[in-house]
Amino acid sequence: MFSGCMVALITPFHDGEVDFQTLDELVEFHLKSGTDAIVPVGTTGESPTLDYEEHKQVIERVVHAVEGRIPVIAGTGSNSTAEAIELTAHAKKVGADASLQVCPYYNKPTQEGFYQHFKAIAEEVDIPLVLYNIPSRCGAGMTPDTIVRLSEIENIVAIKEATGSLDQASEIASRCDLTILSGDDSLTLPIASVGGKGVISVVANIVPTDVKAMTDLILEGDLVSARKWHNKLFVLAKSLLSMATNPIPIKAAMAMLEMASEEMRLPMVPLEDGKRNELRKILTAYGLLA
């Protein structure tokens, strides 16, 4: 369940509302493309600006559209432990296969606070949990010591590593048996070199077959061949995470490719014109635009 090409799915909007028809179409696109798992309502899915009911509805709609064909790893994290528990319980109830749990943000817990937060969720809801360590978005992150402690809890099974540190990934790999997933598309292969098993990917929203080609080779142990895909994907992947705050660039790209509306909710705003031209050139160079 926790390996290969997993897409961090966008949440499409139309006139301020969740566009469930396009959401269904995107799920079907990934099923046809061979994506290994779908991860709705994470950062890329604009979870901070979905209200509580919308968050639940998106999870339920994706589970329904997938119909058990591939795993659904629902984003149900929060900076409130009680809220994370409620969302995770709902995800399990509607049939999600696992939960992605981002580190609590803004309130900046201590390492003991991180441990108690995730421990409480794991004990309250019997569903596999994927930890999500991304200090650049959360204001604080977990140390390897905390992650190793959490790995001893039975249903905490994997970690999405978005610290940008190969030392951190290496230490986790050497000290526990959590499955390590890249949280940065440009680092999927480097993290694989120290034990990573795949990626929860932003760029897979538009090129899932290419990301899957790379992760399939990684899982086969053929890192030399995987490097060819890494090199092909690198500029596109890096641009989508550095040109502006995610998911601004990926939604702009999907609009250019007529896959989904660029619409976001404030405080997220569309990509500025100068960068839009740069993105169009990158998509053209990749072969996605004429």
Tell me the pLDDT tens digit for each residue of 221-271: 999 999 999 999 999 999 999 999 999 999 999 999 999 999 999 999 999
Residue 1 has pLDDT above 80, yes or no: no
CA-based torsion, 153, 158, 160, 166: positive or negative: positive
User: Residue 265 has what pLDDT?
Assistant: 96
Strand 13-14 relative to strand 17-18, pairing? antiparallel
Burial zone of 110 (CB within 10 Å; 0-12 exposed, 13-18 middle, 19+ buried)? exposed
Name which of 286, 290, 283, 244 is nearest 267 in CA terms.
Answer: 244
| 212: annotated active-site residue | no
Task: Please list, in sequence order, all residues whose beta carbon lies within 8 angstroms of the beta carbon of residue 4, skipping any fewer than 6 positions away.
Answer: 36, 37, 197, 198, 212, 215, 216, 219
Q: Which residue has the tokens 């994506």?
A: 35
As a whole number, mean pLDDT of residues 182-205 equals: 98
**How far is Cα of residue 11 from the mean position of the Cα atoms in its chain?**
12
CA-based torsion, 15, 39, 143, 212: positive or negative: negative
Q: Could you give the percent of the chain with pLDDT greater than 70?
A: 100
Name which of 145, 158, 197, 254 is nearest 36 in CA terms.
Answer: 197
Q: Which of 132, 212, 251, 286 is catalytic?
A: 132
Strand 156-161 relative to strand 179-182, pairing? parallel
User: Band of the pLDDT at 99, cuts 50, 70, 90?
Assistant: very high
As a whole number, mean pLDDT of residues 208-227 equals: 98
| 160: annotated active-site residue | yes
Report phi then psi at 253, rounded to 5: -65, -45
Q: Could you give the percent of the chain with pLDDT greater than 90?
A: 97
**How far is Cα of residue 196 from the mean position of the Cα atoms in its chain?**
15
Taking the domains of the chain in order of start, what are their residue ranges? Answer: 4-218
Residue 206 has pLDDT above 80, yes or no: yes
The whole model's pTM is what?
A: 0.97
CA distances from 274 to 42, 271, 286 (A): 28, 8, 19
CATH 3.40.50.150 fits 4-218, yes or no: no
What rounded mean pLDDT belongs to the chain? Answer: 97
Q: Which of 160, 212, 251, 286 is catalytic?
A: 160
